[in-house]
Structure 1
Amino acid sequence: MLTIGAFAKASRLSPKALRLYDELGLLTPARVDPVTGYRLYDPAQLERARLVAWLRRLGMPLARIRQVCDLEPAAAAREVRAFWAQVEADTEARRELARFLVDHLSEEESAMSNVPMGIRYAALSDTGLVRESNQDAAYAGTRLLAVADGYGSAGGPASAAAIEALRHLDADGLPAGNLLNVLEEAVHEAGRAVHHVAGDDAGTTLTAMLWTGSRLALVHIGDSRAYLLRGGELFQITHDHTFVQSMLDEGRISPEEATAHPQRSMLLRALSGGAGATPDIRLHDVRLGDRYLLCSDGLSAVVAAGSVHEVLAAGADPERTARELVDLANRSGGPDNVSCVVADVVAE
């Protein structure tokens, strides 16, 4: 038998990784000492361990690695081939997003940068077909776009208070000072407003964008989302702050398992009466023709991204598009409140 240290060295996996793989049932020790609790491994397990290490270097999620390791060699090879084909397809799909990020980080001016731009927008919130009340809130104005999804006994007042705390940003003239600092302070004020109306028993997500005339400043906390339609491609530009998303990021579950996980709505970050949580805040360069969608999980949890893409790309005006997205959520069962804000960047 090999100790966990010796086995880690031989397999090129860390002891920490081996402990995780034991917890997940991916690489269980041959024996555990009943007195010391030390994990002991059979040298015959090295082949499986090395396969796990190679698959992790490919970026394969742990849930899928478990499936591959249990297959016969020929079937495992087909699964690896299918996984890599999907990686290549995903890489191609993200090509435009990479270009977008390069443009943003290098602050390159586009050919249309001197064209005065504005936004055309619409907001819509609906109770859905199952819930008795609407705990969502949505707002769209000349500068501010926002969606909030409340939860708990006072979820409705919480979401409304969060957006109301940001409403002053919609006034003419941008706030003085660094824009990101201004946004961060506004979100702190929103958190205090939520605590004032909801106490410790409720809270809300918040995804909002502030139009500067040439950029959109994004603030995000929770599992409401923001999407960008650019050049015919749809990109999710926020990251869910949920327990299930964290498991997905770590490779503990597959995307298919995530969609049906019983704890998929458990938030890791939100505006609430508890300890302050840090929102994601950043600037986005815009281009003429960009279309943005902010939505609560009443849309994203029940409607496939491909269907959302199809509606956004159809080119209807923001008001009609928002209505079609809400209708789509309700046709999918409408199990939750659903809110959408659609905004187009246009020449003025």
Structure 2
Amino acid sequence: MGLLTIGAFARASRLSRKALRLYDELGLLAPARVDPVTGYRYYAPEQVERARLVAWLRRLGMPLARIRQVCDLPAPEAAREVRAYWARVEADTAARRDLAAFLVDHLSRKEPAVSPTEPDSTPLTIRYAALSDTGLVRDGNQDAVHAGDRLLAVADGFGSGGARAGAAAIDALKSLDADGVPVGDLLDVLEDAVERARRAVRDVAGAAPAPRETGTTLTAMVRAGSRLALVHIGDSRAYLLRDGGFFRITHDHTLVQEMVDEGRISPEEAVSHPQRTLLARALTGGPEHSPDLRLHDARPGDRYLLCSDGLSAVVPEDEVRRVVAEAGDPEHAVRELVALANRSGGPDNVSCVVADVREPRR
């Protein structure tokens, strides 16, 4: 079979002539021959398969630069790249879905009969405890914790100014504990608080010897009435014990977790991966990263755990669950969790906040 005209090739590949001209200019799909007089493009029949792959990848929304890379790979490697790309799309979509659900829920609860300045529309009380420990290996403690009636927070600093970065992030949120958060303004208040934390960490990082290598994780919960809003960035974690079930309600922002999400490694392989501590997102002095925002309805009987990876990366989750479920009160729980991390070698700073949700006494 001879060469195909651009019209015939467009029909065979399901790409428009305009797209074919663009892909030629970008070096993505060059014609087999260009008439030197007329400039007319001709394509070889064996180019149809590549052209159709380009069309399919464009329908997925893949950027042209990445399409060029995929098309130049052997089929098995190209398949892995497509799987990895789609996993990232799904992760990004999930993050936007969480924010959309947050907004829908937030707007649905705005009733004219409720005062927009009322900070607590449903009375609940929280009993809480926090504990931070250097561990058995590190010389200093770069973790920071806070537990109050309205704010629970854990930060795990890193880099030369890590201790100050973690403390600064939490200090930027402490006004939420002192003043309370109006239910109707929860989303705006959280955005403002996170921005204050970001600026505070940037100031700390700017004074450190290596600004871009200094920062902190931040996992915090803010209570407004019966609502608990979660702000999360990094690899500190939040768990919920409810009705006998133990649920992790945060998603690690690490390079290894991204590899798990993309199907490149298994969760079992992630546990011992040499790069498991490398963060993909954090509050730093470098490029900005957006935290996850989630909203939870607190129920009497709930028990929440916030912890740094000095616990979660060292102690198996079933052991963490056992302690959280069996401890009689938050004070006992945080002491036993820190002790458990140290009995497991204590290779890192370890910090825990445990909070019980209760109905107010009458």
1:251 alignment partner in structure 2: 263
Aligned-partner SS, 1:344: strand
Aligned-partner SS, 1:182: helix
Q: CA shift at 1:116, angstroms?
A: 3.4
Letter in 2 for 1:323: R
Given that residues 181 and 189 in structure 2 are in contact (C-alpha distance below 8 angstroms), is that contact kept between their aligned partners in structure 1?
no
Structure 2 Cα separation of the partners of residues 40 and 254 of structure 1:
23
Q: CA shift at 1:275, angstroms?
A: 1.6
Structure 1 Cα separation of the partners of residues 241 and 342 of structure 2:
23
Unaligned 5+ segments in structure 1 are 18-36, 62-100, 109-113
Aligned-partner SS, 1:171: helix
In the TM superposition, what whole-angstrom CA distance separates every residue of 1:138-186 from its partner, at most 9, and x where no partner exists?
1101111000000000100000111111111111442586211211111
The counterpart of 1:310, out of the listed 290, 312, 322, is: 322
Given that residues 121 and 318 in structure 1 are in contact (C-alpha distance below 8 angstroms), is that contact kept between their aligned partners in structure 2?
yes
Unaligned 5+ segments in structure 2 are 1-45, 61-70, 88-100, 110-120
Structure 2 Cα separation of the partners of residues 145 and 315 of structure 1:
19
Matches within 5 A, 1:196-215: 196-199=203-206, 200=211, 201-215=213-227
Name the TM-score, length of structure 1 as normaliser: 0.69
Name the TM-score, length of structure 2 as normaliser: 0.66
Change (3 A) 1:118 1:136: same
Q: What percent of counterpart residues are identical?
A: 63
The counterpart of 1:133, out of the listed 140, 143, 155, is: 140
Change (3 A) 1:5 1:170: farther
Pair 1:319 & 2:326 matched: no
Change (3 A) 1:252 1:40: closer
1:334 alignment partner in structure 2: 346
2:237 alignment partner in structure 1: 225
The counterpart of 1:157, out of the listed 143, 157, 164, is: 164
Matches within 5 A, 1:1-348: 6=49, 116-174=123-181, 178-199=185-206, 200=211, 201-348=213-360
Aligned-partner SS, 1:129: coil
Change (3 A) 1:127 1:16: farther
Q: Which runs of 4+ in 1 moved over 4 A?
A: 3-10, 13-17, 37-41, 104-108
CA RMSD of aligned residues (A): 3.2
Which structure has the larger Rg over C-alpha atoms?
2
Q: CA shift at 1:286, angstroms?
A: 1.3
Q: CA shift at 1:261, angstroms?
A: 1.0
Change (3 A) 1:225 1:140: same
Q: CA shift at 1:117, angstroms?
A: 1.6
